[in-house]
Structure 1
């Protein structure tokens, strides 16, 4: 009887201890704009991330990092869900199924294998679908920004030089004032307003106060100041009045062709557009977080 009684006492102690540990984990792990993230949300998502990334949560450092990553992901996800609700964005079940099928195809898995694998690993499928929903919302937000994205010609020029180390074939009228001073500057400003067409540069517009050269060659052949000015000037436009070697100058740019294939140029434009969309989306997500009322209820799991 004593042994049986001892075993019962021992069992009660274990149960009480387990309940104490369990109680240290709050039922609500975070609140985002009055919307709770529950312990269930946290535990199921943490399990999902551990399985998807093949992480050993018995390692304290890995477990700590995974906890932080899980909380951050759930907070971001809740912010995205709230934003989607505010703007009337809805994610349909068909979109979620398509996204899962795409993941399966990318990993050479048969249809339905992803869900089956996660179930075998004890993962809650609801949490997986909620994560997919958050990613789809993020994708839709980024795509919605595309209409407001423009890539300036000067940005393309800089990218061409940085990416391909390429030069430009230039045609331009380069005007140089014969004198210095305020009068010469005013005359150059008047000239800037009057020359608008590369094929119709009349000497009477400038010969009394400036010299003109029609340059046809590579950009790198020009003086560094003029090279920089041309980088910032669009084709069929005039530059600002600038100084070079103590003389006032102005450029009318007629042609600026990059020595880059059309295919590579299209790829570069697409890259720059996507980069600007990503930067704009990052700012939007950051603003959502900064404006939100977020309270994390615990710091260690």
Structure 2
């Protein structure tokens, strides 16, 4: 008999078919279905598949008495009640490493788009404008790139920066063992040093509004900020103010505090590029994430150690 799995996130047909081959699936990808699924099937659920944004609360865990395995599909797990789950002995895994290249690619796409002003140039071209009527934009190559969060994704962003002959610095809670990159012990110092501040740190209470007014002031009028981590890391009101007053030159965000709704304070601004939290989404990344989940689940239910524990 296949284990019962509660899926709390939307899955495309191919991914859902792969998961259903291994589990008795209760599919609940929205709030209404989620509540009904827990109420109707909570007594039998042994595993949950979610993501960092959707999470799983302590109260929901308490309504799943047979729960023994929880997986987030991506790397983040900020809305998963980790401590409560561990107190129950529940095995927790993530999709760390499965979409790193996709996120790093998207981070650089955003950086290039906002620094070179690609969206505005596209609009102007469609209206018949020629280059002589438009302002020149700065290079990306050869500049200073500051990375907030030198994890798996941050390291891949750094490699891409090296390909652009950039000088690279980073901030973590502590220096990364073995890294030859320049370390800054505060985000504000990193922002003051760099031209481009690229945010790839985990979300959660510990990093909420890490990028605040003081950091944006330090980044300065020629600086750009890119966020591919979590919306909570950047203070949206402070960012809107900095962009409106020219405190910084521009911003590109794949994530924002108001998700899934776009940030109203930024929509009218021309020095912002926005995408709808798609940095980690590609056919290749989703396939790798689902395969990783299935491998972890198979090992767990076979009594083996999981591959990517939280």
Report the TM-score when normalising by structure 2: 0.25
Instruction: Compare the two structures and name the one with the higher helix fraction.
Output: 1
The structure with the larger Rg is: 1
Higher relative contact order, structure no. (Cα contacts within 8 Å, ≥ 6 residues apart): 1
